[in-house]
């Protein structure tokens, strides 16, 4: 008989997941100060449409509602920490509004975090739309 698999994430991996949660929440709530703290200054953000943004571009577009995230539901996340980087592979159901049109879709994503002082900040994001 196989022993049950532990589903609780602890230690540094839990810190990285918490940073991932805080970033998603800041995006959904439009908390620009929290989002600024959650993102590294040299961020590379690649949307599921392949559009590339810097940190400044990403925050400016979100502030302008391009897009407005109404719901973000991450799941099936796995974290590994190696060489000072926290790497999150996951799936997220997204609910966005852009130009008055609502859209729901699912992405598979890769988020990379690096420790900055006491906080983990996202340095890279890449997502692929799942149809």
Pairwise pLDDT comparison (15 vs 67), residue with the higher score: 15
Q: Indicate the domain borders of the chain.
A: 11-130
Determine what percent of the chain is predicted with pLDDT higher than 70: 92
Tokens of 41: 């200054």
Q: Which of 109, 118, 101 is nearest to 45 (CA)?
A: 109
98: pLDDT strictly greater than 90: no
* pTM score: 0.87
Tokens of 56: 């400044």
Distance of CA 48 to the CA centre of its chain: 12
pLDDT tens string 58-90: 999 999 988 888 899 999 999 999 988 999 999
- The DSSP H or E segment spanning 15 is helix 11-29
Reported as a pLDDT band with limits 50, 70 and 90, residue 4 is: very low
pLDDT of residue 83: 87
Tokens of 27: 């995006």
* Number of residues assigned to the chain: 131
pLDDT tens string 23-61: 999 999 999 999 999 999 999 999 998 999 999 999 999
Query: In CATH, what class is 11-130?
Result: alpha beta
Cis ω on the peptide bond leading into residue 67 (within 30° of 0)? Answer: yes
pLDDT of residue 14: 94
Question: CA-to-CA distance for 36 and 18, rounded, in angstroms?
Answer: 16
């Amino acid at each position: 008989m196989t022993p049950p698999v532990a589903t609780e994430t602890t230690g540094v991996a839990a810190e990285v997941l918490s940073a991932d949660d805080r970033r998603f929440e800041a995006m959904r709530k439009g908390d620009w100060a929290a989002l600024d703290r959650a993102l590294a200054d040299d961020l590379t953000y690649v949307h599921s449409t392949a559009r590339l943004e810097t940190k400044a571009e990403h925050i400016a577009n979100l502030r302008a509602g391009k897009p407005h995230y109404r719901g973000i539901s991450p799941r099936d996340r796995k974290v590994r920490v190696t060489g000072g980087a926290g790497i999150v592979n996951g799936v997220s159901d997204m609910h966005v509004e852009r130009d008055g049109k609502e859209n729901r879709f699912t992405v598979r994503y890769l988020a990379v975090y690096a420790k900055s002082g006491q906080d983990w900040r996202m340095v890279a994001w890449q997502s692929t739309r799942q149809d």
